[in-house]
Amino acid sequence: MTRLGLIVNPVAGLGGAMARKGSDEPDMVQRAALAGRDLVSPVRAARALRAFQALSDAPVLCGVVRPDGSPDMPLLSGAYGTAQDTRDVVRDMQGQVDLILFAGGDGTARDICAANAGGIPVLGIPSGVKMHSGVFARSPERAGQMAARFLSDTAQRTEAVEILDIDEEARRAGRLSARLYTVARTPLDSSGARQNPKAGGTDPVGEMDATLASYARRMRDDTLYILGPGMTMAALKQRLGGGTLLGVDLAQCGQIIARDVDEDALLSAIAGRNVRIGLTVVGGQGFVLGRGNQQISARVLRNAGLPPIDVICGADKLAALHPQELTIDTGDPALDAEMAGYWPVMTGPARHQVMKVVP
């Protein structure tokens, strides 16, 4: 018998209404109460649950708070909706459920994935302020329907998607930047139910695979490759013996030779070497340098003599950028200005797309 885990983060979605960018601050619940606001996510969760129950009679185990209108639903924890509450519930759900359906935004997705040790597939009911991650359905109803379809046959395939969140520190400092936190598995969707803001009908995974294969084939033995973080780069690193998702790794002669290196390690590794840098674009803000890969610093770039940079990124991801630009922030404005311009991005085998790169 399959079971659905339903996580409702009660404070998700309040930031927007209160003219804030997210709801991560601890006193949010109280503030919401003070402002006399209705909670968003229990209502959206109830919509998803109705759609789910129209198609499935699998039992539902829920956590943090219940969806509206389901007073009898088994509840794992009744608490205030802090990040810790979410993580506790996810921990309790391990081994108990076959899919975690949650009502929240990027922050909730992050908390869930951080505690999801067993890698249970995750699907989001769009209820947050920020929803840059790849786990969200287009609407609560579709989330419920997708969950029901998935539970009817859990042998169905899942796919890896990026869990992103806006860097709140940076935002408060006036800079907008999405960070990649991890990768989650979510039900493979062929019906267009998942939110994919600018989707095309092509096969981005297969296209990327062929691109990476051709890139790996052309890597030169006399060159040291600095490979940045991200799902695309992780797939390249996989071809070279396996590297890190979130770190900067070094490769040479078709092999990863160092993992998760810091700026100092980079500086000593590049001395006197032929260097190339391989990067991808992370998140919705189009950053290629300066977010999540600060190790590849202005000093590293200058010491290596401004080496050639290969940006590898699926055309579907480029299409989703608004505006259609890439961004760099090495911390050295003069270097940023020097590097700005038009860069070719590898989008497929024998395909490049030119992107404007702005500081």
Cis geometry, peptide bond prior to residue 323 (ω within 30 degrees of 0): yes
Closest CA to 119 of 173, 160, 66, 61: 160
Find the shortest distance in angstroms from Cβ 320 to other proteins.
9
Any contact of residue 356 with other proteins (CB under 8 A)? yes
Any contact of residue 46 with other proteins (CB under 8 A)? no
Cβ atoms 283, 180 nearer than 8 A: yes
Find the shortest distance in angstroms from Cβ 177 to other proteins.
21
Any contact of residue 306 with other proteins (CB under 8 A)? no
Any contact of residue 350 with other proteins (CB under 8 A)? yes
Count of chain residues binding other proteins (CB under 8 A): 30
Q: Select from 67, 140, 187, 290 the one that contacts other proteins (CB under 8 A).
A: 140
Any contact of residue 141 with other proteins (CB under 8 A)? yes
Any contact of residue 324 with other proteins (CB under 8 A)? yes
Closest CA to 106 of 175, 162, 158: 162
Residue 252, token pair as written in the block? 């040479």
Output 249 or 310, the one with its CB closest to other proteins.
Answer: 310
Any contact of residue 220 with other proteins (CB under 8 A)? no
Residue 313, token pair as written in the block? 């990124």
Any contact of residue 318 with other proteins (CB under 8 A)? yes
Stretch that binds other proteins, among 6-14, 200-208, 210-218, 265-273 (CB under 8 A): 200-208
Question: 8 pairs with which residues across the strands?
Answer: 64, 103
Any contact of residue 205 with other proteins (CB under 8 A)? no
Stretch that binds other proteins, among 22-30, 64-72, 173-181, 345-353 (CB under 8 A): 345-353
Cβ atoms 260, 293 nearer than 8 A: no
3-state SS, one letter per residue, for 201-229: CCCHHHHHHHHHHHHHHHCCCCCEEEECC
Any contact of residue 351 with other proteins (CB under 8 A)? yes
The span from the CA of 344 to the CA of 244, in Å, is 25
> Exposed, middle or buried, 240 (CB in 10 Å: 0-12/13-18/19+)?
buried
Stretch that binds other proteins, among 140-148, 178-186, 205-213, 288-296 (CB under 8 A): 140-148
Output 172 or 217, the one with its CB closest to other proteins.
Answer: 217
Stretch that binds other proteins, among 97-105, 211-219, 224-232, 311-319 (CB under 8 A): 311-319
Q: Select from 118, 192, 241, 254 the one that contacts other proteins (CB under 8 A).
A: 192
Any contact of residue 344 with other proteins (CB under 8 A)? yes
Cβ atoms 232, 212 nearer than 8 A: yes
Find the shortest distance in angstroms from Cβ 349 to other proteins.
8
Any contact of residue 138 with other proteins (CB under 8 A)? yes
Any contact of residue 341 with other proteins (CB under 8 A)? yes
Output 81 or 286, the one with its CB closest to other proteins.
Answer: 286
The span from the CA of 8 to the CA of 79, in Å, is 11
The span from the CA of 107 to the CA of 114, in Å, is 11
CA dihedral 241, 245, 247, 248 (to 10 degrees): 50
Closest CA to 179 of 238, 109, 127, 277: 109
Interface with other proteins (CB under 8 A): 138-142, 190-192, 197-202, 315-316, 318-319, 324, 341-342, 344, 347, 350-356
